[in-house]
Structure 1
């Protein structure tokens, strides 16, 4: 893992996220919803994963260690290895972006695709945003959502991750993907004309959770804005057991995927966003903010009008305001 300053596909509720932006902006298209905590209940009552959630006694424990150091010591135990679970579209570079590759994984054996906004180098280096897409596949729709960041003057990168869109690597669900994001951020900060001291991090849904985990893993970012991310792996995987690849008998597997367990470890100012129709996030995000601020982290929370998807444009605009306030 990089820690330096680091096919048959079945449909599921996130399969539509590749076309998210088109659904948000095009008329007469029904908008998709990705409720990250609500999901089908097991037909036979409580699943084994749901029972694990109950064992968490309302919330995952707050642990005393440093998340970045714990990542050096921990290796996830994947009992099932293979690609990411989501339906995907071909990795065709958007017309307003450039494709580049970054290397990740043990020994940098993975070569993964990232999309970067086109920009002209100026005398003063440009600020940059690393945006982590929702779901477990990257699509053209995600890139369309980046327009406000680009218009605000940021160099924008969206990385794909291991096992996504037919690429190599084993999907792990919120763990080895953190290493991919750290590797992508290293690639971004070394791009010509990018200011490595004005790099920001944001992400939506699955990408929102990854944003939290990455922000606990490095001091590379000036600020981070998780959007509709779930900080509780027990709750997430109890709703979506099809995403589990790790050994569920080991509680550390859940803890290392739960920002709530290391809420005092965020290494940059944070602002949490979610929609008014996502009340299921309220208690967990409030607890995250409480634990974080008690540990000295600068963290705010803002609720924007709308659902998991419809609130996203407004949340992106507010994340820009947040980044500007931090960099002022």
Structure 2
């Protein structure tokens, strides 16, 4: 189930205030009166002291996973602590070399069921397939998560899924044709939100690329109709542990947020200020002429080329003003 342009929530303006070292840094949402306090603990530590409570099912998918063309993807199952889960992975290159790899976390809700768009041609102004990575010659994995595609567990809406992403990393890193030091995480929309939360929860990936994430889940839920029901008890702590703004200082590895100017959450300007203050490796790239969907193809193509060039011991990827201008000129 992919996200349509009509379902996109208009951005809610955030602001950040900080008044001294002992005063919590707060991200406020004027339209709702809600505010997010930036946590002084890491997301992993906060989750270790909490157990989420699922109260309903958000969706029931068909479990009808399409069989991809054999030369594009293989359907595999990767192990997690809940059991094996489905994923698409590009075929092994069989050249005796180790290659950089990308895990692509797609947007929308539901897993891989009834989704042949990962390999079928897509309109460039809304290409959610993540195909730019495999077309560039990178190893690519597209996982599904708990509660999807007849996988074990229940869908948790930005909670347990980050553990599944870690498990997908562990499986991919063990493949003999993958360079375990050059595995990257990228995703769009709901997938982009999962990417940001994973960057706050785990430092396993070399770098993280989030397209079109939301900064705060409570603002999203209260601000407009959701495509699926919220499956958890709507308490403040349940929301906080699913909201990237809360744990922005947990990020340890290079992380980027991209969004088109037409759908940009202004909160990310303020989040970036907090990240800069705490020397967190988080950067925001706003693409003025784009929207939530038109940026996907050119941004993922740019990321793929940056990954191919990232061959040093440490990640040396940067995105210059000129890089963003080239994408803006294309849109």
Q: Is the 8 A contact 1:224 1:271 kept in 2?
A: yes
Q: Is the 8 A contact 1:222 1:327 kept in 2?
A: no
Tell me the distance in 2 between the aligned counterparts of 1:64 and 1:54. Answer: 23
Q: Is the 8 A contact 1:199 1:221 kept in 2?
A: yes
**Which of residues 37, 43, 47 in structure 2 aligns to 1:67?**
43
User: Structure 1 residue 55: deviation in Å?
Assistant: 10
User: Structure 1 residue 247: deviation in Å?
Assistant: 1.4
Structure 1 residue 78 and structure 2 residue 62: aligned? no
Instruction: Map 1:230-249 to 2 at 5 A.
Output: 230-238=214-222, 239-240=224-225, 242-248=228-234
Tell me the distance in 2 between the aligned counterparts of 1:230 and 1:289. Answer: 14
Instruction: Map 1:128-143 to 2 at 5 A.
Output: 128-137=101-110, 138=112, 139-143=115-119
User: Structure 1 residue 142: deviation in Å?
Assistant: 3.6
Q: Is the 8 A contact 1:271 1:300 kept in 2?
A: yes
Instruction: Map 1:1-328 to 2 at 5 A.
Output: 15-17=1-3, 32-33=4-5, 35-38=7-10, 57-80=33-56, 82=57, 84-85=58-59, 90-95=64-69, 96-104=72-80, 108-137=81-110, 138=112, 139-143=115-119, 145-238=129-222, 239-240=224-225, 242-248=228-234, 250-279=235-264, 281=265, 283-304=266-287, 305-323=289-307, 324=309, 326-327=315-316
Note closer, same or farther for the CA distance 1:298–1:275 as it changes in structure 2 (3 Å cut): same
User: Structure 1 residue 59: deviation in Å?
Assistant: 3.5
Tell me the distance in 2 between the aligned counterparts of 1:318 and 1:292. Answer: 24
Note closer, same or farther for the CA distance 1:143–1:157 as it changes in structure 2 (3 Å cut): farther
Secondary structure of the residue aligned to 2:100 is: strand
Q: In the alignment, which residue of structure 1 is the partner of 2:320?
A: none
- TM-score (ref. length: structure 1): 0.77
Measured against aligned partners, the alpha-carbon deviations of 1:166-201 in whole angstroms (never above 9, x if no partner) come to 443211111011111111111111112111100101
Tell me the distance in 2 between the aligned counterparts of 1:65 and 1:259. Answer: 13
> Which runs of no fewer than 5 residues in structure 2 stay unpaired?
12-28, 121-128, 318-331
Q: Is the 8 A contact 1:289 1:301 kept in 2?
A: yes
Measured against aligned partners, the alpha-carbon deviations of 1:266-292 in whole angstroms (never above 9, x if no partner) come to 12101111112213x2x1222222222
Which deviates further from its counterpart, 293-302 or 170-179?
293-302
Tell me the distance in 2 between the aligned counterparts of 1:122 and 1:72. Answer: 42
Q: Is the 8 A contact 2:63 2:150 kept in 1?
A: no
Secondary structure of the residue aligned to 1:287 is: helix
Q: Is the 8 A contact 1:132 1:208 kept in 2?
A: yes
User: Structure 1 residue 165: deviation in Å?
Assistant: 3.3
Measured against aligned partners, the alpha-carbon deviations of 1:207-254 in whole angstroms (never above 9, x if no partner) come to 000000111111111111000011211112223454311111x31101
Secondary structure of the residue aligned to 2:248 is: helix
Which deviates further from its counterpart, 88-97 or 219-228?
88-97
- TM-score (ref. length: structure 2): 0.77
**Structure 1: which 4+ aligned runs deviate by more than 6 Å?**
53-56
Tell me the distance in 1 between the aligned counterparts of 2:61 and 2:293. Answer: 18
Note closer, same or farther for the CA distance 1:85–1:236 as it changes in structure 2 (3 Å cut): farther
Tell me the distance in 1 between the aligned counterparts of 2:240 and 2:84. Answer: 28
Tell me the distance in 2 between the aligned counterparts of 1:240 and 1:133. Answer: 20
Tell me the distance in 1 between the aligned counterparts of 2:284 and 2:162. Answer: 23
